Homo-oligomer: A and B are copies of this chain.
Amino acid sequence: MTPRVREILSWYGSDNPGTLSNLAKLMNHGRLKGTGKLVILPVDQGFEHGPTRSFAKNPDGYDPNYHIELAIESGCNGYAAPLGFIEAVARDYAGEIPLILKINNSDSLYGSKSPISALSSNIEDALRLGCSAIGFTIYPGSSDRKQMYEEIAQASALAKKAGLAVIVWAYPRGEQLSKEGETAIDVVAYAAHIACQLGAHIVKVKPPTAFLEQEAAKKVYETNGVKISTLADRTRNVVQSCFNGKRIVIFSGGETKGTDELLKEVKEMAMGGSFGSIMGRNAFQRPKKEAIKLLQDVMDAFSGAR
């Protein structure tokens, strides 16, 4: 156990040894093991956007084995997916990489201004499949937030009892948020804080923009001179909002984009104190070799080993 991993675990003083072991397992796996940094491969896009939209570009991705192999070969800390994809690989790859069961999901055949995902699996599934953590999406800003927060609160209580870690995807979205506001720094930092207060061990957000959505927040950012002009600044604001850096917060890659642009973003976020990346489409929609190179470049940006 490296001192850094030990330090990070010390922030989770209310968790049982089971949960700490699973957090340690995530941090002590793969190319970034022991650094306290995490790169995770998530593959729920088939559910969220449809199989052809997700996998036609690189048809190997239709196969559930492909993704877990990509995660293992590139040296990711963990692999996250919905029930079906995890069930398809859990036995054959048992013990090869920490698994994260994404227990709620949404699809794109119906869209709503008050989004809320469906509970597609549960803590017992995570246990029987040998997972280390559950993943859960909240949409702060949705008028259905009460139900959502209660769902994660209940799932989280069960997960913690069972010694699992809890990872919350925090995506602001809802009736009273503008499109731009969904990635505004004030809103993203707020959403990350909510996830932490709900008891998440690890939070995932999108890279925030310099836009400020809420009038009351804007005033405070300006009055107190909170820096948000660079992505590193904004990352710092988000990290601070996660209990002053005492909760792990990682950032997604977002829409597929060019490799250079993506790595530049990742480096900025690493500078701002990000604990890592969670990167799906940018990885699995490329040929495997390229994807492995990209993922490892991202990891190296975090480990500073390059």
| A17 sits at the interface (CB 8 A) | no
Give the total of A residues in contact with B, Cβ under 8 Å: 92
Chain A 232-257 interface residues, beta-carbon cutoff 8 Å to B: 237, 240-241, 243-244, 246-247
Among B51, B194, B221, the residue within 8 A (CB) of A47 is B194
Known: A52-B189, A153-B119, A240-B62. A196 touches B246 (CB 8 A): no
Total copies of this chain within the assembly: 5
Residues from chain B with a CB closer than 8 A to the CB of A105 are 149, 197
Stretch at the interface among A31-39, A68-76, A121-129, A264-272: A121-129
Least Cβ–Cβ distance between A163 and chain B, in angstroms: 14
A6 at the interface (CB under 8 A from B): no
Q: Which of A62, A82, A84, A196 has the most CB of B within 10 A?
A: A84
Whether the pair B197, A83 counts as a contact (CB closer than 8 A) is yes
Beyond A197-B83, A199-B83, A246-B64, whether A143 also contacts B110 by CB under 8 A is: yes
A52 in complex: contacting residue of B111, B191, B217, B246, CB < 8 Å? B217
Cβ of A293 under 8 Å from chain B: no
- Write out the residue numbers on chain B whose beta carbons fall within 8 Å of the beta carbon of A122: 153, 157
* Set B111, B120, B174: member contacting A198, Cβ < 8 A: B120
Cβ-defined contact, A51 with B193, below 8 A: yes
- Contact between B13 and A118, CB atoms less than 8 A apart: no
B120 touches A244 (CB 8 A): no
Residue pair B91, A13 in contact (C-beta under 8 Å): yes
Supposing A197-B85, A198-B84, A244-B63 touch, asked if A56 and B176 sit within 8 A by C-beta, the answer is no
- Given known pairs A150-B119, A191-B109, the reply for A88 and B186 (CB within 8 Å) is no
A79 interface hit (Cβ, 8 Å): no
A2 close to chain B: CB less than 8 A: no
Asked if B149 contacts A190 (CB within 8 A), the reply is no
CA distance A202 to B286 in the complex (A): 30
Q: How far is B148's CA from A205's CA once the two chains are assembled, in angstroms?
A: 28
Cβ contact within 8 Å between A220 and B118: no
Q: A52-B220, A63-B244, A88-B246 are in contact. List 12 more A-B contacts (CB 8 A).
A: A14-B90, A50-B189, A51-B240, A51-B241, A52-B221, A63-B243, A63-B246, A84-B247, A109-B140, A109-B176, A110-B174, A121-B153
Give the 9 A-B residue pairs with the shortest CB-CB distance, closest first. A13-B91, A84-B197, A118-B149, A63-B244, A51-B241, A14-B87, A56-B224, A62-B244, A109-B141
